[in-house]
Amino acid sequence: MKRLHSQLDSNSNNIMSQLTICTHSGSFHADEALACFLLKLTDQFKDAKIIRSRDTEVVKAADVAVDVGAEYNQSKHRYDHHQAGFTEIFGDGFKTKLSSAGLIYKHFGKEIIKNRLQLDERKVNLIYKKVYANAIEELDGMDNGIERYPIDVKPLYAVTSTIGNRVASLNPSWNEPQDDDILFKQFEKAMTMMGEYFLDKVDYYGKSWVPAYDIVETAVKNRSSVHSSGEIIILDQYCPWKDHLYHVEDVLSIQTKIKFVLYQDTLGSWRIQAVNLDSHSFALRKALLEAWRGKRDQELSDIIDANGFIGGHKTKEGALTMAIKSL
């Protein structure tokens, strides 16, 4: 309540100087709903007021124009993507033409992620790219009408649950009342929906994905203390490690690839898992010794599946010995 009051006070004090974010009126879409939400997470525009209009003078007078105004110019905070000649992409390997969501994310995404997660620049950059790939690019592609598949491939069933569809269905139906106030209220719901979608992704990458990356990176850097070959790593704690391992090997330019990953399972036993050739492959860089496969030896407590993909041992030392023998 206190916070609300001071917010209201500061708004009324600043009524003349309050910044405005203008987006178009009429029916709304996922991209500008997210773009507006993102702007409200920036230091500069967190207190800005959102208005919806297509009136040229109103758009011109606004401090930020999003998805309206037929202009893209960052130094003037004009972020439309509909005009002829607009070709902006995210870059860094991504080639999908941006929507207003992608545009605002491109310019403010790092600041927003940094504010929310308090991580160092390297991690912010990792998350910035991951969230683009896994949350924003699809909005850009859908909004710009870019097909995900060759046009002659017909889907076998309909998918209607995309976030874009859910935002679209917040627009009043043709036979429901739809004045500006009603549309504005519905637009705010769309902003909230897109905001949750976005923040969930940021939190997942910041609080789950990055910590797993750290565990794998630490293990890889420590590989020579585990075995002189450098081909075995021990995870300090179990985490989803596969995608990270390829990435870390890449980043650290590791020539002798990791063959086995050891970690303790929830019951306290140790697992030895063989690494796949690459992220798209089922083939193993090295399988566990054939003689052990499909066996369970009570004495050694080792278990290995028939393909030599995963084995187990009661102790860390035992698991390590199995990995070394398999090299």
Ligand X SMILES: *[C@@H]1O[C@H](CO)[C@@H](O)[C@H](O)[C@H]1NC(C)=O
The nearer residue to ligand X, 19 or 133, going by C-beta atoms, is: 19
Residue 17 binds ligand X, judged by CB under 6 A: no
Residue 201 phi/psi, 5-degree rounding, is -65, -45
| String of contacts with ligand X for each residue 58-87, x by CB under 6 A | ---------------x-xx-----------
Q: Which of 36, 226, 287, 322 binds ligand X (CB under 6 A)?
A: 226
Nearest to 223 by CA among 233, 215, 214: 233
Distance CA 29, CA 165 (A): 9
Min CB(86)–ligand X separation in Å = 11
Residue with tokens 């203008």: 22
| String of contacts with ligand X for each residue 147-186, x by CB under 6 A | ----------------------------------------
Min CB(136)–ligand X separation in Å = 23
Neighbouring CB atoms inside 10 A of 23's CB total 29
Q: Which of 87, 225, 255, 266 binds ligand X (CB under 6 A)?
A: 225
Min CB(253)–ligand X separation in Å = 21
Name residues contacting ligand X, limited to 228-267 (CB under 6 A): 234, 236
The nearer residue to ligand X, 249 or 305, going by C-beta atoms, is: 249
The nearer residue to ligand X, 229 or 276, going by C-beta atoms, is: 229
Name residues contacting ligand X, limited to 201-220 (CB under 6 A): 218
Nearest to 309 by CA among 293, 324, 321, 295: 293
Contact 88, 81 (CB under 8 A): yes
The nearer residue to ligand X, 155 or 268, going by C-beta atoms, is: 268
The nearer residue to ligand X, 218 or 279, going by C-beta atoms, is: 218
Angle of helix 30-39 relative to helix 100-117, nearest 10 degrees, comes to 40
Residue 317 binds ligand X, judged by CB under 6 A: no
Residue 48 binds ligand X, judged by CB under 6 A: no
The helix, strand and coil proportions of the chain, stated in percent and rounded to the nearest 5, come to: 45, 15, 40
Sheet containing strand 49-52, edge to edge, reads: 49-52, 20-23, 64-66, 78-79, 72-73
Q: Going by C-beta distance under 8 Å and a sequence separation of 6 or more, which residues neighbour residue 122? A: none
The nearer residue to ligand X, 226 or 272, going by C-beta atoms, is: 226
Distance CA 129, CA 42 (A): 18
Contact 323, 272 (CB under 8 A): yes
Binding site for ligand X (CB under 6 A): 73, 75-76, 218, 222, 225-226, 234, 236
